[in-house]
Amino acid sequence: MWIVRIAVIVVFLVLVEIAVRTELINPFFVPRPSEAVARMGTRLTDGEFLGLVAVTLGETFAGFALAAVVGMVVGFLLWRSRSLGDAFEPLVAALFSSPIVLLYPIFLVILGRNSTAIVALAAVFAVLPTILFTKQALSAVSRTMLNVGRSLNLSAWSNFRHILLPAAAPTIFTGLRIALTYVLIVVVAMEYILQIGGLGRFVSESSLLFRATDLYASVGLIVIISAAFIWAINRLEKLVQR
Amino acid sequence: MRKTLATMTLLTTASVAVAGCSAPGGNEPTEEGETQVNLAFSNPTIFTTGLPYYVATAQGFYEEAGLSVDATFTGGGSETVQAVVSGSADIGTETSGAAAIGAYTSGAPIDIIAASTTGLDLQWFAEPDSGLENRADLAGKRMGYSSTGSSSHIGILALSELLEAEGLAPAQPESIGGPPDNLTAVQTDQIDAGWTQPPFFLDRVANGELVLVADGAEIGDYADVAMRVIIGNETWLEENPETATTFLEVHDRTWDWIFDNPEEAATIWKEAADLELSEEVLLTSFDYYDREELRIAPLDGRDVLLDDAVEFGFAEQPLTDEEVNDLFNLSYLPES
């Protein structure tokens, strides 16, 4: 299947390459994909992208770690306490569908115009799906399985590790996948808007300086990073389910 | 499955093609028979940007000349150039010369067709307890500008160069936005100094809420340089040369009217831009600008603009004489 996926991407890039070369697409707005790929390689080898990637990845990991830890703990608490769950789940769901990212000026005022503000905003945005999916995942675990654990006198930890976690993991990981995607989007978008930080700032500057090849090279790199994240979290999911 | 994938690939390619094929053409006349002109400029509340548009609209100058002008507001600098390059706007006013030169060297189909503001009319302010009192105090400090390539950005880059020549640390430019955004950023300690243009915040300076730290006149020798210019989309200009000339003629005539009728202009400005400042404060703008600084011609200081564009990284290499002649196309200026 992955061969088909790569084939679709290659066909798409070849079509764009032809369209740009024949000037069906204005080369000022869209550079040749071959040129953008070559530029990505150059910027990676000359070290320019490495520093930017390090900043963006640092912010993304920090935001994701915060969202994952807080989200899973809160989701667990909402599952454990029915009254808490009933009270707060609709609120979290409502916030999840709100454009929280528009609150960024408040984060800048409180935390300053720096990476901390970007990490905090990304974490706040991503914590919501983590909470919801964790709570839903735990609620969906079969009562029969939990009763089996009790009848075998499993400790609380063993019950959690061997019954609750494996049963809930697929849904929790769906939440984490969404959270990771949101964190990366918010981090790059905020870097773009604020023109601080890593790859998002580079995309913004390339756009404002009309450097289309750099623009597409950096956007391509962000897409690759995003795909790598999804692959990594899928691997992690499989490890946890073992 | 294969058919679906092929369709998706084709559709995506087609959408990229559509996005990449922006080309403005001749504008259709409106129902009233006026020629449509799409205009882009930044920070519409500011004297040099919004005022001529508001006055020309309110006084019917555009209509009299057979023009129907629609304005798009940008974040300044390269964003105005982007609007013109993409065809969202036919003409951009008050955009920095360096940003336009940088865009041109990347292949942007634009012409610089007139001067807009000559000299660097910016001021930088800070909180009174910031300890910032003069230009030298800005060494290593976070300074706000509107958008990459804007005159406020160029001002900070030029200031940094000056500070480094004096053995001090360069300032740290931060893209913040217009003067109100800079005020918020200064008050919340996101930056140390923000930019403004007269008369905004000068009342706060007068009553001690803010202090002025540096003035554009102190930064580089820009007094005789057209720091901001009027640009046009090359394709649109070629197809609408008379409309471009008419627009420039109306723009220049509007400035004449503004300087002849400052009180009326201030009233229009306050209402159209929905400003809270009193008309008395708005009228103090005329203490800072004279008519000559806002003339569309001559376009002075091209060499400085070209040097700055390269020095500050907007253009990767100097323009050839042929490119300079192609970019600075003053053939649309009205004969008078």
Contacts of B334 by beta carbon, 8 Å cutoff, 6+ apart = B245, B248, B249, B252
pLDDT tens, residue by residue, A43-74: 999 988 999 999 999 999 999 999 999 999 99
**B residues 177-216 lying closer than 8 A (beta carbon) to A:** 184-185, 188-191
Rounded to an integer, what distance in angstroms lies between the CA atom of residue B255 and that of residue B289? 11
Q: 3-class DSSP state for residue B173?
A: strand
Residue B21 pLDDT > 60: no
Size of interface A-B (CB pairs under 8 A): 91
- Check for a shared fold between B33-119+225-332 and B123-218: yes
Q: 3-class DSSP state for residue B168?
A: coil
- The complex's ipTM works out to 0.76
A24 in contact with B, Cβ within 8 Å: yes
Smallest CA–CA separation between B9 and chain A, in Å?
A: 6
Residue B18, pLDDT score? 46
CB nearest A109 (choices: B12, B81, B188): B188
**Tokens matching residue A186:** 């918010």
Query: What does the buried/exposed string (b/e) look like for A14-28 if buried means 16 or more CB atoms within 10 Å of the residue's CB?
Result: ebbbebbeeeebbbb
Identify the residue whose tokens are 């580079």: A202
Q: Provide the pLDDT confidence category of residue A238 given band limits of 50, 70 and 90.
A: confident
CB nearest B20 (choices: A30, A194, A196): A30
Contact B21 A26 (CB under 8 A): yes
Rounded to an integer, what distance in angstroms lies between the CA atom of residue A126 and that of residue A66? 9
Residue B2, pLDDT score? 47
Whether residue B186 contacts residue B94, with contact meaning beta carbons closer than 8 Å, is answered with: no
Residue B26, pLDDT score? 53
Rg value, chain B, Cα: 21
List chain B domain ranges: 33-119+225-332, 123-218
pLDDT tens, residue by residue, B265-307: 999 999 999 998 889 989 999 999 999 999 999 999 999 999 9
Residue B103 pLDDT > 50: yes
Chain B residue with Cα closest to A195: B175
Rounded to an integer, what distance in angstroms lies between the CA atom of residue B214 and that of residue B153? 14
Own/partner contacts of B166-172, CB < 8 Å, gap of 24 or more, are: B166/B136, B168/B136, B168/B139, B168/B140, B169/B139, B169/B140, B170/B139, B170/B140, B171/B138, B171/B139, B171/B140, B171/B141, B171/B142, B171/B143, B172/B140, B172/B141, B172/B142, B172/B143
CB nearest A26 (choices: B12, B22, B106): B22
- The arithmetic mean of pLDDT across residues A131-160, rounded, is 90
Task: Tell me which CATH homologous superfamily contains domain B123-218.
Answer: Periplasmic binding protein-like II (3.40.190.10)
Rounded to an integer, what distance in angstroms lies between the CA atom of residue B2 and that of residue B7? 8
Contact A25 B17 (CB under 8 A): yes
Record: fold of B33-119+225-332: D-Maltodextrin-Binding Protein; domain 2 (3.40.190)
Select the residue from B74, B95, B148, B312 to test the A interface by mutation, using most A Cβ atoms within 10 A. Answer: B148
Select the residue from A113, A207, A213 to test the B interface by mutation, using most B Cβ atoms within 10 A. Answer: A113
% of residues, chain A, pLDDT over 70: 99
A162 in contact with B, Cβ within 8 Å: no
Whether residue A193 contacts residue B177, with contact meaning beta carbons closer than 8 Å, is answered with: no
